[in-house]
Structure 1
Amino acid sequence: MNRQQFSKYLNGSSMPTLQSLRKICDFFGVESEEMTLPTDQFRALISARERNRKPQSILDDSPAGQRHTRLLENMMQHSAGEIERYLGDYYYYYLTPSYEGHISKSFARLSVKNGICYSHFYEKAEPGQAMLNGYEIGKFVGVVFLLGERLQIIDYGVHCQRAISQTILYGATKGSFSLLSGITLGIQGRNSRIPFASRIVFERISPDIPLRRKLSEIGLFAIDNEIISPAIRARLETPGNLNSPHIFSASEN
């Protein structure tokens, strides 16, 4: 990209074309929608981001590694062909162990690029529970598989790569759907670092709503807050259908 033209983008005298914008976003590891966020939110999302380049063939140095690589690639290819109906934007809700009696309402986007389905999660935390000082809005990115009619998401924090989280959701049983139920497994806040599991609900939302507005509606809410619909609250509070008090399961859709 021409340095002089790029300088015009930086000083605001010119706007990049969609093709140039995509190149810029891919290089810096950001989404084009994030570029429209208020400056403080955008800075919080990217200033701690490290551009770590991993080896392209990290698993290919042995027959076992090559076998694992092929298995992962097959799962990704299979998932990408079946996952189209789940692509789009969601709010997701779960009971957070960091704030007793509160539900975290956060934003998720599922998208496919080059045959791989990715997740982008945005969560808002109180300063004392943020993974890093000054990063109350956290971004988490991951890979999405559709295996055995279950959505399986494995993600990590962009600002602080100290843990990996996993979410498993029931697939939809009919053509159209508004809610998906499941289980999420993660690490509680930066202070205690306790592993936990919680029921989780994904609520599908319109792609026409601007990202800035979607992010403005996320946060922590008391479990009886009217923002949380009865259908979502019931899925988070209702026990699963397994007949054992020692097994934690999700309510079906």
Structure 2
Amino acid sequence: MTGIPGTDDKMTNFAANLRLLCDRQGSISLICRKLGINRQQFNKYLSGRHMPSSGNIRIVANYFGLGPEVLFAEHEHFRALVDGNFFDVLDHLRRAPQVVRFLDTVAVSTKIDMGEYVGCYDRYQYSSIYSRKILRSAFCIFQNGDFLNHYYIERFPSYDNPARTEYIFKYHGFTFPVEDRVFTIDFETVQRNEFTFGIFSNVQRSSKRFMFGIVSGVAATMFRQPFSTRAVLHYRKAGLLSRAELQSTTTLDMNDPSIPREAREYLGESPDMIKPA
């Protein structure tokens, strides 16, 4: 059985993960200025010689759009999340006893053409965070053994500086095509506090493939309230998500011309987000 990481392990993981994030950002001096943290002190974090205060941990986490606890994840697992290599994450999920029991319950014996569903999609829905904005996320379905898995990425720009990303959410889960319907269940792995569920209908229109459906999300805390809303999957290409798909993730005005007409018509003219009273 794996033991609970001690202080030394946490410090080592934090330092390695912070170095990885900084390598992707460029200038350490610029990062320190934006964080408001002394460069000499920041170097101690990078070298693993000093553990940041809880306040500085939150500052660093917010800057990189991550949950504070994610910064202390095992480095290889953290690299898998940051690099978009989600197979390791899904393998961990599939070995969990609760997931194994779930798969045994819902898996159907009917053979289907899994290749009909695999590929990359643009996913559109009204945002549960930004009022009257349509969220475009990057969604990918791929085959993993006898099952279909999926992952998708949401990015929310800052209100004050739209060029800067305020939040990033990453979901990993399972896809079940049953009788011309597609069921999805997934887990958010940055904040680690949300499940989402979806049911979609596969439709073909004017040589473009769409799946129209309903998705619901339930969080562990009321920081993100439960929601239910319409969603659209618009097929983009075969294979896994690339940088181009990830860079297109953002929130859009309701009438943004880049949103396919079919998606806008299905989502409707006004948000129909269902939330608790």
TM-score by length of 2: 0.56
The unaligned stretches of length 5 or more in structure 2 are 1-22, 26-63, 78-88, 160-164
Of 100-109 and 229-238, more deviation after overlay is shown by 229-238
Alignment partners' CA distance in 1, 2:190 and 2:229:
23
Amino acid at match of 1:123: E
User: Does structure 1 residue 39 correspond to structure 2 residue 39?
Assistant: no
% identical aligned pairs = 18
Return the offset for 1:147: 1.4
Alignment partners' CA distance in 2, 1:113 and 1:209:
13
Alignment partners' CA distance in 1, 2:158 and 2:221:
10
CA contact (8 A) 1:48 1:159 kept: no
Larger proportion of helix:
2
TM-score by length of 1: 0.61
> In structure 2, do the counterparts of structure 1 residues 137 and 148 end up closer, same or farther at CA, with 3 Å as the change threshold?
same
Return the offset for 1:44: 6.6
Alignment correspondent of 1:150: 181
Alignment correspondent of 1:230: 261
Of 44-53 and 157-166, more deviation after overlay is shown by 44-53
> In structure 2, do the counterparts of structure 1 residues 70 and 229 end up closer, same or farther at CA, with 3 Å as the change threshold?
closer
Alignment partners' CA distance in 1, 2:95 and 2:220:
32
In structure 2, which of residues 97, 101, 106 is the aligned counterpart of residue 58 of structure 1?
97
Alignment correspondent of 1:117: 148
Alignment partners' CA distance in 1, 2:258 and 2:94:
45
CA contact (8 A) 2:142 2:150 kept: yes
Alignment partners' CA distance in 1, 2:215 and 2:152:
13
> In structure 2, do the counterparts of structure 1 residues 222 and 82 end up closer, same or farther at CA, with 3 Å as the change threshold?
same
> In structure 2, do the counterparts of structure 1 residues 48 and 90 end up closer, same or farther at CA, with 3 Å as the change threshold?
farther
Alignment partners' CA distance in 1, 2:118 and 2:244:
19
Q: Between Structure 1 and Structure 2, how many residues are aligned?
A: 189
Return the offset for 1:126: 4.0
Alignment partners' CA distance in 1, 2:122 and 2:93:
31
In structure 2, which of residues 223, 233, 238 is the aligned counterpart of residue 192 of structure 1?
223
The unaligned stretches of length 5 or more in structure 1 are 1-37, 129-133, 240-246, 248-253
Alignment partners' CA distance in 2, 1:190 and 1:207:
36
Alignment correspondent of 2:168: 137
